[in-house]
Each structure stands twice: as C-alpha cells, then as structure tokens.
Structure 1
Amino acid sequence: MKSIYRSLLVSFVVLISCSKSKKQSNENNIDGLWKVTKVNIGEQEMTPIARWMKFNADSTQTSGNGWLQHSIGTWSFNSDKNLLQVENTNGVQDEFNDPFKVNFSRDNMIWQRKEGEFDVTVTLEKINKLPTSPANELYGLWKFDTITEEGKEVSETLNSNQKAMLFLRWDNTYVLHNYPEGEKYGMFKTHGHRPQIDMVSYSKVPEFKFYTFQLNNDKLELTSTNSNAKITLTRIHQFIQ
C-alpha cells in the first residue's frame, strides 16, 4: 500500500513539474503579436504610437504602427543567453546591430541593450489584435461644424451652406467637398509620436497647414500650429449633396 502511495506521489510531483515547465515555456515564448508600450533611450522616453511586432514560428517577423505594416524580416533567439536578434530585410541597416537581452514578466517582454552611450529599454505587451492609433481613427468623412480664425467665427464665409466636408482617405490624400471655390485636393500625414496632422494642397501655389488634433467619439477638433485657426467637425457616413 505504501509502495503504491509513493508511486502515486512521485507521479503527481512529476506531473506538476511538467505543468510548470510547460507554463514557463509558454510565458517565455516570443512567437505572437506584441505591442511596444514603452521605449526609454537614456533618460528620455520615446514611445511610438501603436507600434507593434509580430514574431512568427518560422523565424520571420513583421512590424508596423496601427493598421500600417511597414517592415518585414527575420528573427533569431539564443535561449541559453536570452539574446534576440531582429533583422529588417526592407529597411535601413541597424547602426548598432547588437542583439537585445530579453527578460519576460507575465505578458510583458523587456529588451535591453547599449546604443552608443545610451542604455535602451523596450517594453512590449502580448496582444491579440493590431492596435489602433488615433491617426487610424481620422480616416473617413467629416462634416464641418465651426471654423474660427483669429478668434472670429468665419463659417458663414467658408461654409455658408453648412455642407462643407473633409474626406480623409486611406491612401493619405484628402478632399474638401462643397467649398465655395469647389472641391480641393491634397495629401496629409500624421506624426508617429504625437497627435499631429500635416496637410498640403494640390495647387499651383501649395498651401501647407499643420494641426494638432483631438478626438472625442464622433467629434474632431483641429487646432492650427501655424495660424490662429480652429476647426470642429463631426463624423458622418454619407456625402451631403
């Protein structure tokens, strides 16, 4: 009876040990989708907006910001030394090219290395879907509510029929509809580290406009950084005729 009890006890201990080993292996698995939650370079924090990386089991990797994938490449991990090497085959060669020392903590992965005189630390969190950036939420059709210049409401001049619209397209071009001068076209880009949108018109004399933006559900506020203009808009889902 005691022999059977000891046998069962040994089997139970082995089962627990295997279970813990499997759990630790899963926790330390680089495979999957990760979001960069913090980047520290020396004493400065330089965390990009909605930056993600996906590590595939076949040693390939992709990365991007928000809905945009912009890099592809390979990765390798030395499990004995916890060193991760990431290569982008469509990008500029890494100036430092040293592997990152990797540590795991629950659903977080922490990379560390020296870049010149600075200590670099990157913290990543395991996620299940691509992160959405505020810039992604700008895409779509917006109706002008108010236009203020130099503190004065000028909607009566620029939007007298209350039908003016701004269409921000997925290909980073924009169209101004129902403006007094007719439709206007241009292109825009957003900043990778702060809520900023820069716009330039397609015209003989291009107009450059720079705004910070603030989103609140279906409301968008643009505040110019190169003039005293402020615009408020509401998201709509049909063009106004």
Structure 2
Amino acid sequence: MKNLFVLILSISSINLLGQDAESIAGLWIISKVEVGNEVMTPDAKWTRFNDDSTQESGNGWLQHSYGEWSFDQKLNELLITTSNGIIDPFGAFRVEFDDHSMKWYRDEEGDKVVVSVERTDKLPATTRDQLLGLWKLDDLKGNDDLFKEKVTDSDYLFIRWDGKFVAGTKSGKKYGVYNVHAHKLEIELIPYGGGSRTFWSVEFLEEGFQMTLLDSERVAIRKFKRIKQFPK
C-alpha cells in the first residue's frame, strides 16, 4: 500500500493494446484502484492527454501535475512523464481498452494492481469542490465552538476556495482553516484563536449538506442550505 500514493499521484507509463495516439487523447477519470484485496476510489482523480503530447493531472477542479506523453504504436506503449512529480518505479501497465474505458494492470511488490479509467468530457468535482461557497445554517443539534444550540437568521458558513472558512453568527464572525479528506466524506475545521479542532462526516442532501461531529463523547449535527447572499 505504500506505493499506492505513487500510483495515484503520478502515472508513468501505460501499455495500450491495439490503439493509436488519437484513441488516447482526451480527458480520463480514474474511477477505481485495486491493490491486492484492497479497493480504493480516488476522489475525482483525472488525467488529460492533449494532442500536442502534453498532459495534466489533478483531482477535481485542482490541477497538481503536468508533463508530456508519447505513444509507441509498434510496442503499444504509452509513456507519461511528470515534470513536477515523482518517478514511478513500476513500469508499464498492461491495458484493456474499450470505447469509453480502460483497465490498467501491473504488479507492485507482489500485489496485483488494477486501475479502472473512464473517458469524460468535463472535470469531476471532489468533496471539497462541492462544499465551496456560502451556506445558511438550517438546523442543528448540540454545541461546538462555532454554532450553539439555537439557530438564528444570522448563522452561516462560508467555505472559501483558499482553504479558509468564515462562520457567521448573531454575535460576530469566527475564522479558521479547513481540510477535506482525500478519500472520505470528511472535513476538518480548525478555528483561529485557540478554538478546538473538530472532524466532521459530510452527507450531501437534496438542498444542501449535513455535518456530523466525529466524537464518541458528544453529539453535534449541522444542516446547511446554499444561499447566494450573506445574511444581514
């Protein structure tokens, strides 16, 4: 499992059977990674192969790597180099190719690795991407450092693109930073000024989302609806 991060972060080379460069070009989502008996679904991991032999990779709306790719049609091998990433030591993947999907196979230190890849025409959204924006507190149970047990018309949560949040209440604003788990529906809130760091599970609802505190000693639930203006 220690090399799974290398696999997901940086794809080095792929052995593609019976296809040409035009079949490879485009945007692809990594929908599932199987390593031995373990299965992991990356959060909106994607790679784009451009016609000019450049490539970019990222998660959701965030691009985090770039480089080049080349295809050897005689050997049916696709080589991807990442200019700002790390070297993948495990070599080529054996590939099964369908009209809108691929599967990549290889062995890593005795584990069989299977990567499922699907063609798409738009960037997928991560949990973090879906949480971005302004949210009105709609219902709550229990206390925490940001919101108390009674909902008011002034309560909101603003999740900013730069990793910071603002919690507005009738008594004022509280600021902090947040982290969203890369593989789980979880968010970590870290208030400035000595507030307690808290971890919450996230559930998306029809009109918003719900956060449930991950704490065995107390219960706290927050429900939010999206709004387009700050409460007065």
TM-score range, shorter chain: 0.7 to 0.9
> 2:168: which partner in 1?
177
Measured in 2, the distance between the counterparts of 1:77 and 1:118 equals: 26
- Letter of the aligned partner of 1:177 in structure 2? G
- Letter of the aligned partner of 2:133 in structure 1? G
Question: Taking every aligned residue pair, what percent have the same amino acid on both sides?
Answer: 36
Structure-to-structure mapping, 1:43-192, within 5 angstroms? 43-94=37-88, 96-149=89-142, 154-156=148-150, 159=151, 161-180=152-171, 182-192=172-182
> In the superposition, relative to structure 1, how do residues 77 and 230 fare at CA in structure 2: closer, same or farther (>3 Å)?
same
SS in 2 for 1:132: coil
Contact 1:83–1:102 under 8 Å retained in 2:
no
Measured in 2, the distance between the counterparts of 1:154 and 1:238 equals: 22
SS in 2 for 1:69: strand
For structure 1, which runs of at least 5 residues remain unmatched after alignment? 1-23
RMSD: 2.2
Greater fraction of residues in helix:
1
Residues 12-41 of structure 1, C-alpha deviations (whole Å, 9 max, x = no match): xxxxxxxxxxxx857971111011111111
Measured in 2, the distance between the counterparts of 1:163 and 1:38 equals: 42
- Letter of the aligned partner of 1:231 in structure 2? R
Measured in 2, the distance between the counterparts of 1:64 and 1:91 equals: 12
Measured in 2, the distance between the counterparts of 1:28 and 1:110 equals: 18
Measured in 1, the distance between the counterparts of 2:135 and 2:142 equals: 19
Instruction: Give the deviation of 1:82 after TM superposition.
Output: 2.6
> 1:15: which partner in 2?
none
> In the superposition, relative to structure 1, how do residues 25 and 97 fare at CA in structure 2: closer, same or farther (>3 Å)?
closer
Contact 2:67–2:82 under 8 Å retained in 1:
yes
Measured in 2, the distance between the counterparts of 1:197 and 1:154 equals: 19
SS in 2 for 1:183: strand
Contact 2:71–2:78 under 8 Å retained in 1:
yes
- Letter of the aligned partner of 2:75 in structure 1? K
1:220 maps to 2:209? yes
Instruction: Give the deviation of 1:145 after TM superposition.
Output: 1.8
- Letter of the aligned partner of 1:237 in structure 2? K
SS in 1 for 2:200: strand
1:193 maps to 2:183? yes
For structure 2, which runs of at least 5 residues remain unmatched after alignment? 1-17
**Which structure's CA Rg is the greater one?**
1
- Greater RCO, CA 8 A, separation 6+: 2
TM superposition score normalised by structure 1? 0.80
- Letter of the aligned partner of 1:187 in structure 2? V
Measured in 2, the distance between the counterparts of 1:97 and 1:65 equals: 22
> In the superposition, relative to structure 1, how do residues 56 and 197 fare at CA in structure 2: closer, same or farther (>3 Å)?
same
- Letter of the aligned partner of 2:123 in structure 1? L
> In the superposition, relative to structure 1, how do residues 58 and 28 fare at CA in structure 2: closer, same or farther (>3 Å)?
closer
- Letter of the aligned partner of 2:47 in structure 1? M
> In the superposition, relative to structure 1, how do residues 120 and 89 fare at CA in structure 2: closer, same or farther (>3 Å)?
same
Q: Which runs of 4+ in 1 moved over 3 A?
A: 24-28
SS in 2 for 1:176: strand
